[in-house]
Amino acid sequence: MFKELDPILHSQLRLAVMSILISVKEAEFTFLKEKTNATAGNLSVQINKLKEVGYIEVTKQFHNNYPQTICKVSPVGIEAFEMYVKALQEYMNPGRQ
Amino acid sequence: MDNKNNPLSQEESLLLISQMINKAKNSYHESGIGPMLWGTVITVCSLVTYCQIKFDFRLPFDIWLLTLFAIIPQIILVAREKKKSKVRGYDDLVMDYIWSCFGIGIFLLIFINANIIEALQPVFSHYKELTGQKSMITYRSFSTSFFLLLYGFPTIITGGCRKFKPMLWGGILCWICCVITVFTPNDIDMLLTALSAGAAWLIPGIILYQKNVKGKVTNV
């Protein structure tokens, strides 16, 4: 029996954001926008969804008089991401456990 | 990525994950200016000291004071790079600590050496009377080995952890030269120090700088 893929992560932009954040300690919103080629609006919506489920932590602050949004993956997010990858691997290699 | 909420196949998901991880990994990097600065300063100081010993002349100031002046641009460089950086990697803090400890360690070693030289000065002054040997040893001929030992530590760790081979090999060369300088006189020690600093910092710094200029970023 296959595990159901996490619907929060099984979306292109949210998965892209999580994959970047899992590889670094923290990243600015502008960095995520640059790497995913997403529009600010769409990225903002998806980041909020990830924040609502507790997968990422978002800090808003001012840096040199400019607003700065810093995103960081949470322990819950790391666990969810690992489960998602594991589930994907099971789909790809159904014989293996 | 506006239509990025489309359903994904399992293969597409895995591909996207690996692409994004690679993009993130290749995004935090150094400009190479810091290693170039220190590589140049230490190489120049060593070569000038070599010439002073070899051609028997003295500059009106200690050339190694250049290292003190190099700290100012280094602080400005680090502050600028941190300001520009939009992402922080997991090992950034570790690297900051390693290189800060290295810098402080060098100054502690200079302080220790100065005190040892002062304490052993009477022995060196009466070396011929005490041993009957003509040639006189100096503590300075061994102190270079300690410096090269220290140079190797952060360089090997950085090169190894960030998978940047030129720096890793440069660090290993520092340790090889560290062993050789135990058996060589002061002038050769200085040549080996110049070689080590060039290989450990100057050349890797130039490689990093060129990659940055070309836009080929690397995760160092």
Residue whose structure tokens are 């060129």: B210
pLDDT, residue B125, reads 74
Mean pLDDT over residues B107-114, rounded? Answer: 92
Strands A26-28 and A56-63: unpaired
According to CATH, the topology of domain A12-91 is Arc Repressor Mutant, subunit A (1.10.10)
Cβ separation of A25 and B92 shorter than 8 Å? yes
Comparing CB atoms, the residue among B7, B19, B24 nearest residue A24 is: B24
pLDDT, residue A48, reads 95
| Chain B residues within an 8 Å CB radius of A11 | 4-5, 8
**Does residue B157 fall inside a structural domain?**
yes
Contact, B192 vs B18, CB < 8 A? no
User: Which residues of chain A are under the pLDDT cut of 70?
Assistant: 1-2, 94-97
| Chain A residues within an 8 Å CB radius of B26 | none
Q: Which two tokens stand for residue B23?
A: 């993009």
With bands split at pLDDT 50, 70 and 90, how would you rate the model's confidence at B117? confident
**Does residue B94 fall inside a structural domain?**
no
Flag whether pLDDT at B209 surpasses 80. Answer: yes
**Which amino acid is present at B40?**
T
Mean pLDDT over residues B202-214, rounded? Answer: 89
pLDDT, residue B3, reads 46
B119-148 confidence digits (pLDDT tens): 887 777 777 777 777 665 667 778 899 999
Flag whether pLDDT at B53 surpasses 80. Answer: yes
pLDDT, residue B177, reads 97
**Does residue B8 fall inside a structural domain?**
no
**Contacts of residue A39, Cβ cutoff 8 Å, sequence gap at least 6:** A33, B1, B2
Cβ separation of A91 and B10 shorter than 8 Å? yes
**Does residue B2 fall inside a structural domain?**
no
Q: How far lies A49's CA from each of B19, B73, B150, in Å?
A: 22, 43, 49
pLDDT, residue B166, reads 95
Flag whether pLDDT at B217 surpasses 80. Answer: no
Q: Where do the domains of chain A lie?
A: 12-91
| Chain B residues within an 8 Å CB radius of A90 | none
Rounded Cα gap, residues B164 and B159, in angstroms: 5
Flag whether pLDDT at B4 surpasses 70. Answer: no
Cβ separation of A19 and B20 shorter than 8 Å? yes
Q: State the ipTM, two decimals.
A: 0.85
**Does residue B55 fall inside a structural domain?**
yes
Flag whether pLDDT at B215 surpasses 70. Answer: no
Give the 3-state DSSP-derived string for A10-71, with helices as H, strands as E and coil as C. CCHHHHHHHHHHHHCCEEEHHHHHHHHCCCHHHHHHHHHHHHHCCCEEEEEEEECCEEEEEE
Which residues of chain B are at the A interface, by a Cβ-Cβ cutoff of 8 Å?
1-8, 10-11, 13-14, 16-17, 19-21, 23-25, 27-28, 83, 86-90, 92-93
Q: How many CB pairs under 8 A join A and B?
A: 96
pLDDT, residue B195, reads 97
| Chain A residues within an 8 Å CB radius of B1 | 12-13, 16, 36-39, 42-43
Rounded Cα gap, residues A74 and B173, in angstroms: 41
With bands split at pLDDT 50, 70 and 90, how would you rate the model's confidence at B5? low
A77: nearest Cα among A20, A35, A38: A20
Whole domain around residue B38: which residue ranges? 32-85+100-128+138-214
Residue B157: left if φ>0, alpha if ψ -120 to 50, beta else—which one? alpha
* Average pLDDT of every residue of chain B: 86
Looking at the 3D structure of chain B, how many domains does it have? 1
With bands split at pLDDT 50, 70 and 90, how would you rate the model's confidence at B219? very low
With bands split at pLDDT 50, 70 and 90, how would you rate the model's confidence at B218? very low
Cβ separation of B86 and A38 shorter than 8 Å? no
Nearest CA in chain B to A92: B10
Cβ separation of B5 and A12 shorter than 8 Å? yes
More confident site: A65 or B6: A65
Q: Which of A3, A21, A24 to mutate to test the interface with B (most CBs of B within 10 A)?
A: A24
Rounded Cα gap, residues B88 and A37, in angstroms: 20
Which has the minimum average pLDDT: A72-86, B68-82, B111-125, B145-159?
A: B111-125
Q: Which of A2, A4, A19, A92 to mutate to test the interface with B (most CBs of B within 10 A)?
A: A19
pLDDT, residue B212, reads 79
**Does residue B188 fall inside a structural domain?**
yes
